[in-house]
Amino acid sequence: MSLVAGSYERFIWGFTLKSQSLTLIPLFSYPSHLSLIKSVAISGSVVASGGADDTIHLYNLSASSSLGSLHHHSATVTSLSFYTPPELLFPRNLVSADADGSVCIYDADGFVHLKTLPSVHRKAVNDLAIHPSGKLALSVGRDECLAMVNLVRGRRSFCCRLDKEASLVKYDSAGDKFFLAMEEKVSVHEAEDARLLLEFECQKRVLCAAYAKNGLLYTGGEDRNITAWDINSGKVAYSIEEAHATRIKGIVVLTDNDGSAGGEDPYLVTSASSDGVIRVWDVRMAATEKPNPLSECKTQSRLTCLAGSTLKFRKPEAGKSKAKEQDQTTED
């Protein structure tokens, strides 16, 4: 299990979580951008970071090495998302968005730039999410709009006005529902027709969210709590109060390599705060008592974003093709 985090100080941090000891082990710390990092994404051993220097940097996490950079944006890269088909160990596409409202689509095999979609939003894109099918993506922006991008045809196919600006958009694992965060409110919608199903009222502004396959949506933000919402009942399942000393900027739900968490509900959740601390939690304890973190790492940086990969990997052998890598049995 691997984690990456970005910071205001231009550093990207890489960690591995040992499955037996549940200890966060630093892999690398690197000043990769010329200014603050706004977004990170990870798929298997491939990592992407986007910053206020208008650049996307790429990394091989297993080798702790750089894969180069992409320079197709002319504004701050605000959001990144990989699409990885279930049968593959490596991503097929990378989709990025920027502060000018544009979206770029890349083929992850060689990171070839396929197309730039200008003016998907009239102002900055706050967040984007790729549907599990890989055929479309949703984005939200500072223009208070929700847009749908057809990734197959490479064009915006839908756009509608929201009641207010949304900062986050996420799909559930099946792609049947999506979630929007607008200040202290989180809404649940049908993916097919955007019909509103539920609304959650949080204590303070929501800054990050992550969906778990057991039907829970984890949120964090200005209230410094990690809250688990039941998306069927709309009620709080449990909450880790004061999980950090300052606001929470990233949440990742960790499962095993096939996403099943050993046939049980996912119980490991990782959080990152602007105080520079990354913590791993066993949320099974949250229903009965305030849990202590299983592990933590102090980066001494102001963290801005967090991403995690549940896929296990090992370094590819020289000269081995992707097709052969796909058939490998992988390990920590």
- Are the C-beta atoms of residues 132 and 115 closer than 8 Å to each other? no
- Are the C-beta atoms of residues 5 and 37 closer than 8 Å to each other? no
**Maximum Cα–Cα distance across the chain:** 53
Of 89 and 249, the one with more pLDDT: 249
What pLDDT band is residue 319 in, cutting at 50, 70 and 90?
very low
Residue with tokens 């896929």, as numbered in its chain:
311
Q: Which of 150-164, 221-235, 306-320 has the lowest mean pLDDT?
A: 306-320
DSSP one-letter code for 86:
T
- Are the C-beta atoms of residues 214 and 228 closer than 8 Å to each other? no
What is the structure's pLDDT at 293? 92
Beta-sheet pairing, 248-254 with 77-83: unpaired
Structure tokens at 35: 């200014």
CA distances from 282 to 5, 23, 240 (A): 20, 13, 10
> Smallest Cα–Cα separation from 300: which of 13, 105, 107?
13
> Smallest Cα–Cα separation from 310: which of 17, 87, 20, 40?
17
- Are the C-beta atoms of residues 199 and 191 closer than 8 Å to each other? no
Structure tokens at 158: 């839908």
List beta partners, residue 62: none
Distance CA 183, CA 203 (A): 10
pLDDT(328) > 70: no
What pLDDT band is residue 87 in, cutting at 50, 70 and 90?
confident
Residue with tokens 């691997």, as numbered in its chain:
2
Total H helices, total E strands in the chain: 1, 28
Q: Quick one: what percent of the chain has pLDDT higher than 70?
A: 89
Per residue in 187-220, is it b (16+ CB within 10 Å) or e — as a string? bbbebeeeeeebebebeeebbbbbbbeebbbbbb
CA 25 to chain centre: 20
Distance CA 321, CA 57 (A): 23
pTM: 0.88
DSSP one-letter code for 66:
E
Instruction: Compute the average pLDDT of residues 295-322.
Output: 70
Question: What contacts 86, CB < 8 A, 6 or more positions away?
Answer: none
Of 10 and 213, the one with more pLDDT: 10
Strand order in the sheet with 11-17: 24-31, 11-17, 2-7, 303-309
Instruction: Compute the average pLDDT of residues 129-136.
Output: 97
Distance CA 154, CA 105 (A): 8
pLDDT(191) > 80: yes
Distance CA 210, CA 133 (A): 19
pLDDT(315) > 50: no
Q: How many residues does the chain have?
A: 332
- Are the C-beta atoms of residues 123 and 101 closer than 8 Å to each other? yes
Give the model confidence (pLDDT) of 17-63 as tens digits.
887 778 888 888 889 999 999 999 999 889 999 999 999 999 998 88
Instruction: Compute the average pLDDT of residues 303-309.
Output: 94
Give the model confidence (pLDDT) of 193-219 as tens digits.
999 999 999 989 999 999 998 899 999
Give the model confidence (pLDDT) of 218-277 as tens digits.
999 999 999 999 998 889 999 999 999 999 999 999 875 434 444 455 689 999 999 999
Vertex 302 angle, CA 142 and 203, to 5°: 55
To the nearest whole number, what is the mean pLDDT of the chain?
88
Instruction: Compute the average pLDDT of residues 174-200.
Output: 95
